[in-house]
Structure 1
Amino acid sequence: MPLLRFVVRVLYAPVFFTVFVWSALTLVERGAPLWGLPVLLGLALAVSFAAERIAPYERAWNRSHGDDGRDLIHALVNEASIFLSVLALPAVAAWGPELGVWPAGWPLWGQLAFAILMADLGITLAHYASHRFAILWRLHAVHHSVKRMYGFNGLLKHPLHQAIELTAGIAPLVLIGLPQDVAWLLAFSVAIQLLLQHSNVDMKIGPLIYIWAVAPAHRHHHLASRTEGDVNFGLFTNLWDHLLGTFRSGIDTPRAGEIGVHGRSDYPRGYLLQLVEPFRRRG
């Protein structure tokens, strides 16, 4: 068991991302039906839960905090909205200008890598703004209200805030001709990355922590502090955080009881209450 735990800690993140994203690329290239990607995502969730139990960063985070049902609803609603958004992409693109600059001649994996880097910039800036402007923070605070970090709650977001981040990340790509098959792969890659970014696996990624925005770096972001948690905003990479001066690394990542919304121990935990909370006036 110690050997298995060591292997998971060292290899889980790169193998998980590579295997599942490459599998999705293969499915799309072969023209697999749309249900293939949700099935693959379900398998990724199962692997995520298993790895968190083999090599947990914080054992307490593997236990339910009365949040299982709520997190499931968040995930289903948000993933369904992304699914519908990609389905609607051709109709949305028809309303905009056709700039015709998409690198269509590149291999599919190259187009996906380009889309990931472009979307990462837009989403990072939207995330950064969400910690600077109160109207955005009220929506984003729903995501920070979690009391534990495990892969599945990477999918926990207020639907309006997800729409804002999605627009910031995808709109520039749509304007330059994002194909629907690349959009499917991008959406899948985002889900896989969120599972890694919020994972409870005690992963060891070495120097990759400076460029890859997975759990060892992102846990700093969830520290319940007005200032110390305003770091590591990137979704896929930490590149933009280095430019913004918001990158942080180190071994002092938060433990159980140290994450959440600063000063809001009373933050609502139910799904419907969390949808309403950003619009509720407080004294």
Structure 2
Amino acid sequence: MIKPLVRYGYVPFMLLGINGVAIALTTSGAAAGAGKAWLLVLLAVAVACSFAAERVLPYQAVWNSALDDDRRDVAHAVVNETLMLGSVAALPLLAALVPGDGVWPGGWPFVLQVLVAMLVANAGLTLVHYASHKIGWLWRLHAVHHSVKRCYGFNGLMKHPVHQSLETAAGITPLLLLGLPLDVATVLALAVAVQLLLQHSNVDYRIGPLKHVLALNEGHRFHHLKWAGIGDVNFGVFTLIWDHALRTYSYDPARRFTTTDLGMAAKPNYPDAYMAQLTEPFRASGACSTSAVPDNPAKPELAGQP
């Protein structure tokens, strides 16, 4: 009984349940006196549910076992989520630097404001992600994320902090110019974290035809294929709208993934330790672009790849 519940209920619980509670707390004013503590509590609940679901219904059971990467991934998560909270805390100051009052639809229902924020942020985040696979210096920063040897929830929070900052700036700047309210930004920060947990999750869940629209794990695994050029697909953060527009969408329902499919063909011995990953992009021999990796003669072909 519990496996079918996780298979079909896990995504609605995370997307609608966790984010819904954040929206309800914000609109009711119940969290007004708690600062950002409620945000941390909901994030902790989301992480705990992610780990629990991965053990009940894993896509690959072996991916639930650490590969000397658990402490490193915790360090990435703590640093990057602290940066995210810091950016939310700095929003009032940043907003004061923006001329005018913006055109934010403040009279709309709060849930619609959050959805607008997601769509606008998705555009900036996706396009920077796309550029990070095409521009050498951005790829060297982004390569940290592609050094993973297994896909599980915490992978989504495993990013070089400089690259995370660039992505955040791309996602939040258009919103600031529009006049994004602080309470919407707070819910958006949690929604991004929840989305990254789902997107990299080692849960064998199902979302039906929505897998062609929402940027979740069934499609995102293709993004982490290590073969040259093949991983240059499915860049979306919240949705795959931009991937359909850029013709970078790819999906093969028959494809199954193992550890040997993940990582970087050009950099199979990428550093595993946290501090080494922070310095690797600045080394003269930093990771090269995925598009520059010579094609492996044994690389798989993907159905639907443009």
TM > 0.5 between the two?
Answer: yes
Which of residues 2, 17, 20 in structure 1 aligns to 2:18? Answer: 20
Q: Work out the CA distance in 1 between the residues paired with 2:151 and 2:274.
A: 17
Q: Work out the CA distance in 1 between the residues paired with 2:28 and 2:164.
A: 30
Superposition pairs of residues 80-159 of structure 1, within 5 angstroms: 80-159=82-161
Number of equivalences: 281
Name the structure 1 match of 2:266.
263
- Quote the offset at 1:99 in angstroms: 4.4
Contact 1:151 1:197 (C-alpha < 8 Å) held by counterparts: yes
Amino acid at match of 1:233: F
Deviates more, 1:246-255 or 1:117-126: 246-255
Name the structure 2 match of 1:4.
2
Name the structure 1 match of 2:215.
213
Segments of 4+ moved more than 2 angstroms: none
Name the structure 2 match of 1:56.
58
Q: Work out the CA distance in 2 between the residues paired with 1:184 and 1:93.
A: 14
Name the structure 2 match of 1:66.
68
Amino acid at match of 2:271: P
Task: Deviation per CA, 1:182-218: give whole Å up to 9, x if none.
Answer: 1100000000000000000011111001100000010
Secondary structure (helix, strand or coil) at the match of 2:261 reads: coil
Contact 1:148 1:259 (C-alpha < 8 Å) held by counterparts: yes
- Over the matched positions of the two proteins, sequence identity in percent amounts to 52
Name the structure 2 match of 1:240.
242
Superposition pairs of residues 163-174 of structure 1, within 5 angstroms: 163-174=165-176
Amino acid at match of 2:18: F
Name the structure 1 match of 2:276.
273
Amino acid at match of 1:205: I
Secondary structure (helix, strand or coil) at the match of 1:40 reads: helix
- Quote the offset at 1:95 in angstroms: 1.1
Task: Deviation per CA, 1:37-57: give whole Å up to 9, x if none.
Answer: 101110111111110011100
Q: Work out the CA distance in 2 between the residues paired with 1:15 and 1:253.
A: 25
- The TM-score normalised by the length of structure 1 is 0.97
Secondary structure (helix, strand or coil) at the match of 1:8 reads: helix
Amino acid at match of 1:38: L
> Which residues of structure 1 form unaligned runs of 5+?
none
- Quote the offset at 1:225 in angstroms: 1.5
Amino acid at match of 1:169: G
Amino acid at match of 1:222: H
Which of residues 26, 29, 44 in structure 1 aligns to 2:27? Answer: 29
Contact 1:100 1:176 (C-alpha < 8 Å) held by counterparts: yes
Q: Work out the CA distance in 2 between the residues paired with 1:202 and 1:26.
A: 29
